[in-house]
Structure 1
Amino acid sequence: MEPWSFNQPVLLNKTRHASSVLVWTLVGATGLTTLWAFWAPLPETVMVQGKLQPLRPAQAVTAPVAGVVDQVTVKEGQQVQAGTVLLHFDTQKATAQRDAGRISLASLERQFKVNQVLLGEGLQNALTPEERELYRNQEQEQRGRQSSEAASLARSQVRIQGLERSIATAETVAERYQQLLQAGASSELQVLSARERLAQLQSDLEAERRDEQRLSANQAAGIASRNVSLRKENERLRQQMQVLRRQISEAELLLESSSLTASTDGVVFDLQVRPGSVVQRGDSNRPLLRIVPTDPLQAKVYLPNSAIGFVQIGQRADISLIAFPAGDFSDLPATVQRIGSDALTPEQQRRELGLDAQGLHFPAVLKLSSQTLQVGRRSLPLQAGMSLTASLHLRDRRFISAITGLFDDKRRSLERLR
């Protein structure tokens, strides 16, 4: 058999069907893409940082009085109930301080009351037997000083009286010598001697009178000086008694509050003291420890100024905990519960967000849907202080608006450059 073959040449013409399909496919895809760009929603979200915290802030526990810690009865991370004893103070020093203070205060009060009576500002009948004995001793001492001054003044007055009598006699003698001199019965020397004797007595009298005035002034000044001294001493005693009463009150307060207890339920955190630690009263800069309340946890985040206008109360958020990577664990749903009415101050922003944070930030609180993170059949408990990232859906934009927004930004940049 002969092989089959074409007896005449065959001409093949290209069909236009395939190219038409390709063109219309491209046109349709372009049209659909354009329609999708105009109508397809593009969700706009914001990622914010924050951390978990209880509803109530951690409570700083300070010492009610200054003292020395004797025993710490709790440990870091321990769960405590309201009324649980946290630590005991050393009461030996407080007891000794209270007893010594009471003894010193009683002695000062006795001296103060005696001084009041010596000044004439208190009643002797109000004194106790011990105070009366002290009063009599001081009164006798005071009278002894006054008697010595009075005796010196009395002796001076007696000398003045004697000099006055001697002067009167000397005047009489001088007059008689003068009469005898005129009659020729006496010499002129006798007259001069009598007059000299009279002048000497008058000089002694003037000196004694000045001495009397000095003694009298000293006596009056001594009484006034003693009164001033007594008043100054009473003022000093009053100040010392106030100091002693305050020390006694602090010692009694320490004895009454020798055991420091928790005022709320929570977990012990940041324990700073141990047996032998010296603590100061109410030192808020160095608290003894902190108690984190066992309240339900909430997420505190900080919204940037560009997103604050789109966030509303009740809005949904998805929380991813730094301790549980999102690739291995699911997000934790939450809702916006509270939004701050004012932005953070620069100091607050540096403390909460660090130096890298730019622009204004507003605090917000997210309510968690669960207090545990579910992983299969396991429930992982959440802890206060865990860092997190929250994703909040702000709005739905058209894809085309996002594209045009980029061009608008570029155009504005060029306009600003011009």
Structure 2
Amino acid sequence: MSATFSRTLRSLRSAGRLESRAFVLASFMLALLWVGWFAGSRLAIYEISDSARLEVADAVVPVQSDMSGLVVRRLLQAGDEVRRGDVVLELDAEIDRRTLAEEQSRAAGLRSQLSVLERQLASEETAFRQAQATLEVALVEARQRHDLARIQAAFAREEVERLEKVRRSGSASELELLRVRGAAAAAEKSEEIAAVTVQRVEREQAERLEKQRALCESLRKDQARLAAELQQAEAAIARLELTVERRVVRAPSDGRIGELADLSPGAYVRPGDVIGRIIPRGGLRVVAHFPPAAALGRISPGQPARVRLHGFPWGQYGSLPATVTSVADEPRDGDVRVECRLESERETPIPVRHGLPGSVEIEVERVSPIEMVLRIAGRTPARRAMLGSGNL
């Protein structure tokens, strides 16, 4: 029985030595694998932005009022789709509309007066030309009669001279000489009358034409005055129409109303007040802000990134893939602006839209665990980083 017990003890000692050797071998293999991973694997280092926001590629367009006034009605709400020129808000323009109606009525009256005056002026100018032609004919006839009377008077004087010579020779009677002298006196009188007639026709022509000319000139002055008043009225109408139109606030571009002030009827609006903002249609981009030490020299266009949106847990919704498109060269307000383009290869349950806040993670390098330990041991400047899974 003692021999059997001795054999059992030897068997137990032999089995223990085998298990110890297997444990040592397994531990050695695990240590070897750990050393290989510690020295040879690569871990991704990500820089995380201070803040990030989804924005449309085009700039958000403000909706502003050009005029001051009281709100009459608001036709659109935040979230409505609009097209350029759609009415967003109307301001009170009742006084301007009444003034506009008065100016339009005044302009209509001036047009009517001007039309009547133009017809009268045209008629007077025609009458002036006709009178001028008639008086010219009368003057020509008077001058012709004067020329004829002058010729007859000259002939009569020659006849008197001839008969006086003949009378001295005794060949003509005294009665015949008297008759010729009487005819000569009558001819001279006719010449004088014809000359006076020419002068009278010339004077009457000048007076009549001058009156007609003065009347036409007066009508032209009235026409110019009415035309100037009509021009002023039309300028006032155009100005008032513009004022009335400017009291209607319209959408400056196509898009969606992202934000609209709560302006109820009766609220007062000043010139330049921002009524709301329109988000243009188009693709989205991610605008992130990084500390200068994390971005400058470490982030460059083309690097992959991932976007995590606040309010949408990463474990449930995941992240959005993106690619860096631009990096600012100079910090502003203590941060560097980095823009990313969203990749649309995969669908996401997140309702992606303008204004969603979140954070951006950009892989900047890959290092081994031992290098990471050495960096920490060497007290290198700490970076906010997240270690992703590497190649094991």
The alignment covers a number of residue pairs equal to 258
> 1:125-178 CA distances to partner (integer Å, 9 max, x unpaired)?
9xx88xxxxxxxxxxxxxxxxxxxxxxxxxxxxxxxxxxxxxxxxxxxxxxxxx
Alpha-carbon shift at residue 313 of structure 1 (Å): 0.9
AA aligned opposite 1:389: S
SS in 2 for 1:255: helix
Alpha-carbon shift at residue 89 of structure 1 (Å): 2.9
Alignment of 1:402-417 (within 5 A): 402-409=372-379
The answer on 1:385 being equivalent to 2:355 is yes
Aligned partners of 2:44 and 2:365 also within 8 Å: yes
Aligned partners of 2:66 and 2:247 also within 8 Å: no
Note closer, same or farther for the CA distance 1:97–1:343 as it changes in structure 2 (3 Å cut): farther
Alpha-carbon shift at residue 59 of structure 1 (Å): 1.2
The answer on 1:329 being equivalent to 2:317 is yes
Q: Could you tell me which residue of structure 2 aligns to residue 306 of structure 1?
A: 293
Aligned partners of 2:61 and 2:252 also within 8 Å: no
Give the unaligned 5+ runs of structure 1: 103-124, 130-245, 346-359, 413-418
Distance 1:251 1:372 in 2: 55
> 1:378-411 CA distances to partner (integer Å, 9 max, x unpaired)?
xx53221111122211110011001111111189
Q: Could you tell me which residue of structure 2 aligns to residue 108 of structure 1?
A: none
Note closer, same or farther for the CA distance 1:91–1:10 as it changes in structure 2 (3 Å cut): closer
Distance 1:410 1:297 in 2: 37
- Give the superposed CA RMSD: 4.0
Q: Could you tell me which residue of structure 2 aligns to residue 34 of structure 1?
A: 35
Distance 2:2 2:54 in 1: 87
AA aligned opposite 1:61: V
> 1:156-204 CA distances to partner (integer Å, 9 max, x unpaired)?
xxxxxxxxxxxxxxxxxxxxxxxxxxxxxxxxxxxxxxxxxxxxxxxxx
AA aligned opposite 1:409: R
Distance 2:258 2:3 in 1: 103
Alpha-carbon shift at residue 84 of structure 1 (Å): 1.6
Which of 47, 54, 58 is matched with 1:56 structurally? Answer: 58
Structure 1 residues 29-38 or 39-48, which shifts more? 29-38
Aligned partners of 2:67 and 2:247 also within 8 Å: no
Aligned partners of 1:296 and 1:371 also within 8 Å: no
AA aligned opposite 1:88: E
AA aligned opposite 2:339: V
Alpha-carbon shift at residue 301 of structure 1 (Å): 0.9
Alpha-carbon shift at residue 319 of structure 1 (Å): 1.5
Distance 1:254 1:406 in 2: 69
Distance 2:330 2:75 in 1: 43
Alpha-carbon shift at residue 373 of structure 1 (Å): 5.2
SS in 2 for 1:94: helix
Q: Could you tell me which residue of structure 1 aligns to residue 279 of structure 2?
A: 292
Distance 2:381 2:289 in 1: 31
Which of 251, 254, 257 is matched with 2:246 structurally? Answer: 257
Q: Could you tell me which residue of structure 1 aligns to residue 269 of structure 2?
A: 279
Note closer, same or farther for the CA distance 1:91–1:8 as it changes in structure 2 (3 Å cut): closer
Alpha-carbon shift at residue 296 of structure 1 (Å): 1.6
Alignment of 1:15-414 (within 5 A): 15=14, 16-48=17-49, 49-96=51-98, 251-272=240-261, 273-281=263-271, 283=272, 286-308=273-295, 309-345=297-333, 360-370=334-344, 374-375=348-349, 380-409=350-379
Aligned partners of 2:84 and 2:251 also within 8 Å: yes
Distance 1:20 1:72 in 2: 87
Alpha-carbon shift at residue 50 of structure 1 (Å): 0.9
SS in 2 for 1:393: strand
> 1:203-235 CA distances to partner (integer Å, 9 max, x unpaired)?
xxxxxxxxxxxxxxxxxxxxxxxxxxxxxxxxx
Note closer, same or farther for the CA distance 1:280–1:101 as it changes in structure 2 (3 Å cut): farther
Aligned partners of 1:65 and 1:250 also within 8 Å: no
Which is greater in Rg?
Answer: 2
Alpha-carbon shift at residue 7 of structure 1 (Å): 6.1
Note closer, same or farther for the CA distance 1:294–1:8 as it changes in structure 2 (3 Å cut): closer
Distance 1:410 1:278 in 2: 59
SS in 1 for 2:33: helix
> 1:341-392 CA distances to partner (integer Å, 9 max, x unpaired)?
21122xxxxxxxxxxxxxx4211111112399524xxxx5322111112221
Alpha-carbon shift at residue 24 of structure 1 (Å): 3.4
Aligned partners of 2:63 and 2:252 also within 8 Å: no
Aligned partners of 1:40 and 1:398 also within 8 Å: yes
Q: Structure with the greater relative contact order (CA < 8 A, sep ≥ 6): 1 or 2?
A: 2
Q: Could you tell me which residue of structure 2 aligns to residue 191 of structure 1?
A: none
Q: Could you tell me which residue of structure 2 aligns to residue 10 of structure 1?
A: 6
Alpha-carbon shift at residue 98 of structure 1 (Å): 6.2
Alpha-carbon shift at residue 74 of structure 1 (Å): 1.0
SS in 2 for 1:307: helix
TM (normalized to structure 1)?
A: 0.53
AA aligned opposite 1:10: S
Aligned partners of 1:85 and 1:262 also within 8 Å: yes
> 1:58-84 CA distances to partner (integer Å, 9 max, x unpaired)?
211111223333222111211111222
